[in-house]
Amino acid sequence: MTDPATLDVTIVDGYVDEPAHFGVPPYISTYPRYTAGALVDAGVPESRITYHTIDALREERSRWLDVEEADLMIYLGGMTVPGKYVGGTPAEPDEVRELAWTADGTSLMGGPIRFGVGEENAGAQDMARDDLDFDFLAMADVEAAAHDLVSSGLEGFEDRYRDNDELDRWAESGAFVVEQHPNHPDYLIAELETSRGCAYRCSFCTEPMYGDPDFRTPESVVSEVAALADSGVADFRIGRQADILAYGGDGEAPNPDALRDLYGGIRSVVPDLGTLHLDNMNPVTIVDYPERSREAIRVIAEHNTPGDTAAFGLESADPVVQEENNLLVTADEC
């Protein structure tokens, strides 16, 4: 049985882009932070956890020694809604395969890459994929897989999703890993998760694959933010959710009080706040609940820093496309 306290672990961030989760620089996604926290929870010392971005590995080949010599190498990546990026270049499949070939120890791959690899799988709903020569692929939460793999002595794990109690611990205890990001501390924005999953089922989107929304408490998010601030992060985006207006409610109707606790709490623990922005505001929420949405947006506007926009995501104004893709609002309603 391998003692977790003696393991050297290298995390490689190949970047992620999901409909409700972004992690290309200057953003750092939740995946490396939660995975680091899960490793610590399983008994791996912080000092034995090394983090590299794929860009850092490209720029300095000597860093690949950490990949080669690690007892466990974890690759995190996947672009289910790929775009054009100015802050970094996501890992290519050949680079991901090279990581597996380089690693002398056990290798684990996870994140949205589980939804597919390469152009033929770019639709994200096709679960067929290429394993890219890794020892293990996490087909559920990679942070849970990392925790259980270490706990098993690197023998294996059962695919599963983490629960909120685990998330509360891992989000806070994994914050330290941001200090190893090459953009830290001056040009790094931490993506914050308030929930995942969606109450709606637009057919083009991968977010419903996570099920109905499962909300974190304001206290959980604020504790994570405080830990990130202690590690030198001053810029944040509340971006990991399908609809910020639905936070803390039933998945559809706004809950202004929950938003007030969330935003007010973040403001209270980051006295030197640089950025507090958001992503993903569903226009159907405003159409269906105009007064409660107005109050919720007022709370956000009072606490956000300048220069933010709320992405409505009108995917198409074509009524045929709207119907075929189960889109929720017309162009006029948006």
Cβ neighbour number for residue 53 with a 10 Å cutoff: 26
Q: Is the dihedral of CA 297, 299, 301, 304 positive or negative?
A: negative
The per-residue pLDDT for 130 is 58
Percent of the chain with pLDDT over 90: 77
270 near 229, Cβ under 8 Å? yes
Residues 244 and 312: their CA atoms lie apart, in Å, by 11
Q: Which tens digits make up the pLDDT trace of 267-285?
A: 999 989 999 999 989 899 9
159 near 207, Cβ under 8 Å? no
Closest by alpha carbon to 240, among 196, 182, 180?
A: 196
68 near 107, Cβ under 8 Å? no
> Cα torsion for 9, 15, 17, 22, to the nearest 10°?
80
Closest by alpha carbon to 177, among 20, 44, 275, 63?
A: 44
Chain centre to alpha carbon of residue 104: 27
Residue 243 has pLDDT above 50, yes or no: yes
- pTM of the shown model: 0.93
The per-residue pLDDT for 117 is 52
Closest by alpha carbon to 234, among 281, 277, 264, 196?
A: 277
Closest by alpha carbon to 57, among 15, 6, 17, 22?
A: 15
What element of type H or E holds 27? Answer: strand 27-28
**C-alpha distance from residue 171 to each of 90, 98, 118, 187, 220 (Å):** 23, 29, 30, 21, 8
132-161 average pLDDT score:
96
What is the b/e burial string over 188-206, where b = at least 16 CB atoms within 10 angstroms of the residue's CB? Answer: bbbbbbbbbbbbbebebbb
Task: Kindly report the three-state secondary structure assignment for every residue of 35-98.
Answer: HHHHHHHCCCCHHHEEEEEHHHHHHCHHHHHHHHHCCEEEEEEEECCCCCCCCCCCCCHHHHHH
Sequence-separated (6 or more) residues with CB below 8 Å from residue 290: none
Residues 1 and 154: their CA atoms lie apart, in Å, by 8
Q: Which of 99-103, 168-172, 317-321 is predicted with the least confidence, judged by mean pLDDT? A: 317-321
List the domains of the chain with CATH numbers.
4-151 (3.40.50), 185-324 (3.30.750.210)
Q: Which of 79-88, 182-191, 195-204, 296-305 is predicted with the least confidence, judged by mean pLDDT? A: 195-204
Q: Which tens digits make up the pLDDT trace of 184-226?
A: 999 999 999 999 888 777 776 777 778 778 899 999 999 999 9
Residues 192 and 113: their CA atoms lie apart, in Å, by 20
Residue 121 has pLDDT above 50, yes or no: no
Closest by alpha carbon to 124, among 28, 214, 19, 34?
A: 19
